[in-house]
Amino acid sequence: MKIGIVGLSLSGKTTLFNALTGSAIDTAAYMGGKKDAHHAVVKVPDERIEQLNTIFQPKKKTPATIEYIDLAGLTAHAQKKSGFSDQFLGQIRLVDAILVLVRDFANENVPHPLETIDSRRDLELVQAEFILSDLAIIENRMTRLEKQMRAKKSDSDIKEHALLDRFKVLLEDGKVLRELDLSVEEEMIIRGFQFLSRKPLIAVININEDRIGRDDELVLPLAEILGKNAVVLPIAAQIESEIQQLPEDEAELFRRDMGIQTRAMDRLIRESFTLLGIINFFTVGEDEVRAWTIAQGTAAPQAAGAIHTDFERGFIRAEVVSYNEFIQRKSLAHCRNDGVLRLEGKTYIVKDGDIINFLFAV
């Protein structure tokens, strides 16, 4: 799973990136804006894989991961003139979800590029740029389709043009494509476009430490403008970044004193998994205990394909036990004896926490 971090310049994106990834990138180097993206892969904290590791004592433990990409800061004036750069678009279209950081903190040493602090305005500005970017793609594609259809009409071109026209009307009304419920066929038609306003969105409000715990007054006004497949989280990025650099025992005391109940990284990962409809299943053994990330609703053969395409191609059946059933017995043999380790076929929908051994032949 890839999450791209975007926002106006001086909103604290690199500070948040440090807080989420444990990096120590010097934010002062980017006071004037930056062009290069930072990448970091974060291991997903999961008590279940720790317990499985303790039981099996494997040679290797492999948790699920999330890749965070800290993209270039957006400059409002530059956007109005020329839109997103090709480099920026090339990076952001590859992510699974977009994290938009909006500034709610005041710091006279770090002036806001628009002079005043207004998180709603900043979020609407960035979201409007997503809409304009999607509109430009749709208009260009519709023009090409119309040219093709003048020469020869095909059912696929007609369907695509009608769908894009529906999108165009919505976007011109200032609404995002996340608002639409699409059929499987329609999702296939637009899959290659990677529309920005269609991607799940996480709006993070970068707050001062004195706003910690006052969530509703910040979250509700922004949640109203985002629509479907979006979530709002207030995070004090500067404090979280400083805590991330401390030993864990000191960090826990610091969080308690500040009234921070859960680490920013844990909150964001939990919300990201929920927003994207992502779950984990596990494979276990003496060689490796590993978490695998799949979409909720994935059938057993496709889940097997997350491990290797041969597993999906030659899928026979899956031996499955839920994590909770296993942890009560702490042995696959005991699970088999108690009848909770079961055989499932091609129609089985994998559940979060399933421990699975795939049987296949190629």
- Pair (265, 307) in one structural domain: no
The distance of Cα 157 from the centroid of its chain, to the nearest Å, equals 32
- Pair (207, 311) in one structural domain: no
Is the pLDDT assigned to residue 80 strictly greater than 70?
Answer: no
- Pair (259, 333) in one structural domain: no
Is the pLDDT assigned to residue 90 strictly greater than 50?
Answer: yes
The runs of H, that is alpha helices, within the chain are: 13-21, 47-56, 76-82, 86-92, 119-151, 155-172, 184-190, 216-226, 237-244, 248-258, 264-276, 300-307, 309-313, 323-329, 332-337
- Pair (218, 344) in one structural domain: no
Residue type, 361: A
- Pair (248, 143) in one structural domain: yes
190 closest CA partner among 168, 212, 206, 211: 168
Domain boundary among 243, 275, 307: 275
Mean pLDDT of the chain: 89
- Among 113-117, 179-183, 263-267, the range scoring the smallest mean pLDDT is 263-267
Mean pLDDT, rounded, for 317-328? 97
- Pair (41, 121) in one structural domain: yes
- Pair (83, 120) in one structural domain: yes
Helix axes 13-21, 237-244, angle to 10 degrees: 30
- Pair (171, 113) in one structural domain: yes
286 lies in some domain: no
* pLDDT attached to residue 341: 97
pTM of the model: 0.86
111 lies in some domain: yes
Tokens of 45: 């904290």
Can you tell me the distance from the alpha carbon of 262 to that of 259, in angstroms, rounded to the nearest whole number? 9
- Pair (189, 326) in one structural domain: no
330 lies in some domain: yes
- Pair (89, 191) in one structural domain: yes
* pLDDT attached to residue 27: 65
- Pair (225, 303) in one structural domain: no
Domain limits at 340?
Answer: 297-360
Express as a percent the part of the chain with pLDDT over 70: 94
355 closest CA partner among 56, 70, 127: 56
CATH number of the domain to which 348 belongs: 3.10.20.30
Mean pLDDT, rounded, for 244-254? 87
The region, left, alpha or beta by phi > 0 then psi within -120 to 50, assigned to residue 39 is beta
Mean pLDDT, rounded, for 31-38? 61
Please, which pLDDT band fits residue 81 given cuts at 50, 70 and 90? very low
Task: Please indicate whether residue 22 or residue 113 has the higher confidence score (pLDDT).
Answer: 113
Domain boundary among 245, 275, 305: 275
140 lies in some domain: yes
- Domain total for the chain? 2
116 lies in some domain: yes
- Pair (214, 335) in one structural domain: no
Please, which pLDDT band fits residue 28 given cuts at 50, 70 and 90? low
Tokens of 59: 């040679």
Helix axes 264-276, 13-21, angle to 10 degrees: 90
Is the pLDDT assigned to residue 42 strictly greater than 80?
Answer: yes
Tokens of 314: 């030659």
Is the pLDDT assigned to residue 78 strictly greater than 70?
Answer: no
* pLDDT attached to residue 330: 94
Give the number of other Cβ atoms within 10 Å of residue 75's Cβ.
14
192 closest CA partner among 141, 132, 135, 227: 141
Residues 6 or more apart whose CB falls under 8 angstroms from that of 261 comprise 255
280 lies in some domain: no
Is the pLDDT assigned to residue 82 strictly greater than 50?
Answer: no
> Could you read off the pLDDT of 196-217 as tens digits, one per residue?
999 999 999 999 887 777 666 7
301 lies in some domain: yes
283 lies in some domain: no
Can you tell me the distance from the alpha carbon of 26 to that of 297, in angstroms, rounded to the nearest whole number? 41
346 closest CA partner among 308, 314, 324, 321: 314
CATH number of the domain to which 212 belongs: 3.40.50.300
